Amino acid sequence: MGKTEKFDHMKLIGEYAGGHKALITLGRFLAAVSAVLALIPYYDLWKIIKLAVEGKETEKISHFAWMAVILTISSLLVYIAALLCTHIAAFRIQANMRSMLMRRIITLPLGVFDEDGTGKIRRIVNDSTAATETFIAHNIPDKTVAAITPVGLMVLIFAFNWKIGLICMIPALIGFMCMMSMMGKGMQEKMAEYQNALETMSSEATEYVRGVPVVKTFGQTIHSFKRFKASIDGFGKWATDYTLMLRTPMMGFMTCINAIFAFIVLAAFLVTRDGTSSADILNIMYYIIVTPLITVALTKVAYSGEAEMTLIDALKRVENIMEIEPLKDETSDKKPLDNSIELENVTYRYKDATRDALKNISLKIQQGEHVALVGPSGSGKTTLAELLVRFFDVTEGEIKIGGVNVKDIPSEELMRRVSFVFQDSRLLKKSIYENVALARPGATETEVLAALKKAQCMDIIEKLPAGIHTVIGEKGTYLSGGEQQRITIARAVLKDAPILILDEATAFADPDNEAKVQAAFKELSKDKTLIMIAHRLSTVVSADRIFVMDNGSVVSSGTHKELMEKQGLYRKMFDEYMTGIEWKVGA
């Protein structure tokens, strides 16, 4: 915890900056020079007004005017140089952050992408690093200017007439205090809540849009719409709470900074009580021009504070990814002896969960055996399947493939040995050929076509404009959930791994698609060790063995016939399933 409290964002930026750290310092220095150069013309302005009011040496006016113009232009040029330095540093830092993140992400357990959602990770890689870039490129020089300008203006204001200066400072100071109260401690939390709400909403939106075909196919409209709507409502609530929280201090701030004129009028009355001198007129005219600039300067201070909070939040998000423990890849060259699978007292609990998703499971699957995992939703079927391919590592116990602990099998060997087709397998925005050939880079077109044929995909290919070279997701080429699953099956066919994990879809829109997916599964699983997560019990009847799961445990196992005789959970589920089918037919 102490770590988050002492979060040193500038030190962290320095680390990402590497050799470009000096550019940030140079950028800051140049911004400071530019701020000082920009302040001098206000002295010239005072001189000009003085000369004009006194009506003496009017030829000198143009001298001061020119000086002011030259200094303003110089200040601008120096500021551009400062921006150049910070921009170069910012782009380097952004590139460094992204490549460090990508290198880290590649080592993370696959389960992380499940837990946090790919949308969230994408947002951190894109947006959090972009926020850091914006801060370094723009806010660092702005912040330097914002710190120097109000101080310089105050010096000027007090130097010419401290009494008027003092009166004008009253609203500026109260405004500043209001602003500081807005930037108080709760603000950083609010900023994190804002980013969270935005993150959830954007990942829900991505999931929703991506899921449109699935939503349509599986008729899950209400469910998925609810989550998306809840995230929008969550964001709306945050925005309202935040606005209400800021209402009073913001009103105070705006009132004060806009009231500066009223205070100048008051000051004018006070200083001219005993008669008006030309010096008084000069000062009042000068203050009318210069004092509002304090407003602008203070507003900039306010914005630089907000930008810093966004930066801290962005850096914390990046750090959260960098801190995830990567999957330990053993350098051992242990090779599984065969394609059998064994679980010994396996227990798994998800991060931050209060109970185990799997409890003390022991089972053995022989090479070539076809087994099915059945059980109510949430019983742990997916978790078990995912542990086999190290989406996560077990909390307790051991998983062995061919007699070797999966943790000791080099990840390449493990991936070569196991194929998985999950329900929500997504295709990349590439051609069908490239999507399938991912399984075996360099596969020829003939090989890919053969795999597609075995996976019952020919009807899909035939209706696409450019056959297997059609890019999915482009020019209106979208595939339904079942079609996408068939393409991923083709990928698994091409990979030809000896162990297969299949997660069948819960429902299909049309029987034709369902029949094709079943046929593809059948073709794919020939001569393989197969673990099928079954949702429709009609497909498990022919399995060699069925494991019935409930509440994270395997409650019984056996063939369909054996389990039906036991009168247990399986029998109950099967009877309900059959009634469901009859009811559908009857309806």
Interface with ligand ADP (CB under 6 A): 114-115, 350, 353, 357, 375, 377-383
CA distance 287 to 262: 12
Determine the Cα angle at 524 with ends 521 and 525, to 5°. Answer: 85
Determine the Cα angle at 448 with ends 390 and 471, to 5°. Answer: 85
Closest distance of CB 550 from ligand ADP, Å = 9
Nearer to ligand ADP (CB atom), residue 336 or residue 380: 380
Closest distance of CB 326 from ligand ADP, Å = 18
Report the SS3 class of residue 508: coil
Sign of CA dihedral 386, 391, 394, 399: positive
CA distance 532 to 372: 5
Computed on alpha carbons and rounded to an integer, the radius of gyration of the chain in Å comes to 34
Nearer to ligand ADP (CB atom), residue 150 or residue 375: 375
Nearer to ligand ADP (CB atom), residue 357 or residue 543: 357
Nearer to ligand ADP (CB atom), residue 149 or residue 379: 379
Closest distance of CB 565 from ligand ADP, Å = 24
Cβ neighbours for 408, distance < 8 A, ≥ 6 positions apart: 330, 332, 334
User: Which residue, 6, 78, 12, 7, is CA-closest to 40?
Assistant: 78
Tokens of 63: 């001298």
User: Which residue, 377, 343, 351, is CA-closest to 550?
Assistant: 377
Closest distance of CB 585 from ligand ADP, Å = 26
User: Which residue, 242, 248, 260, 244, is CA-closest to 179?
Assistant: 248
Question: Residue 392 carries which DSSP code?
Answer: S
Nearer to ligand ADP (CB atom), residue 74 or residue 423: 423
Sign of CA dihedral 415, 418, 419, 420: negative
Closest distance of CB 517 from ligand ADP, Å = 18
Nearer to ligand ADP (CB atom), residue 114 or residue 424: 114
Closest distance of CB 371 from ligand ADP, Å = 15
User: Which residue, 246, 136, 250, 237, is CA-closest to 196?
Assistant: 237
Closest distance of CB 124 from ligand ADP, Å = 18
Closest distance of CB 514 from ligand ADP, Å = 20
How many Cβ atoms are within 10 Å of 438's Cβ, its own excluded?
16
Question: Residue 275 carries which DSSP code?
Answer: -
CA distance 313 to 192: 6
User: Which residue, 313, 306, 16, is CA-closest to 138?
Assistant: 306
Strand order in the sheet with 341-348: 358-365, 341-348, 396-401, 404-405
Nearer to ligand ADP (CB atom), residue 106 or residue 353: 353
Helix axes 21-54, 140-160, angle to 10 degrees: 30
Does residue 294 contact residue 310 with C-beta atoms inside 8 Å? Answer: no
Nearer to ligand ADP (CB atom), residue 26 or residue 555: 555
Helix axes 511-524, 445-454, angle to 10 degrees: 120
Closest distance of CB 549 from ligand ADP, Å = 6
Closest distance of CB 352 from ligand ADP, Å = 7
- Report the run of H or E that residue 397 belongs to, with start and end: strand 396-401
Closest distance of CB 494 from ligand ADP, Å = 27
Closest distance of CB 423 from ligand ADP, Å = 10
Closest distance of CB 366 from ligand ADP, Å = 23
How many Cβ atoms are within 10 Å of 116's Cβ, its own excluded?
17
Residue 376 φ then ψ, to 5°: -60, 160
CA distance 10 to 23: 14
CA distance 97 to 17: 9
Helices (H) and strands (E) in the chain, counts: 23, 10
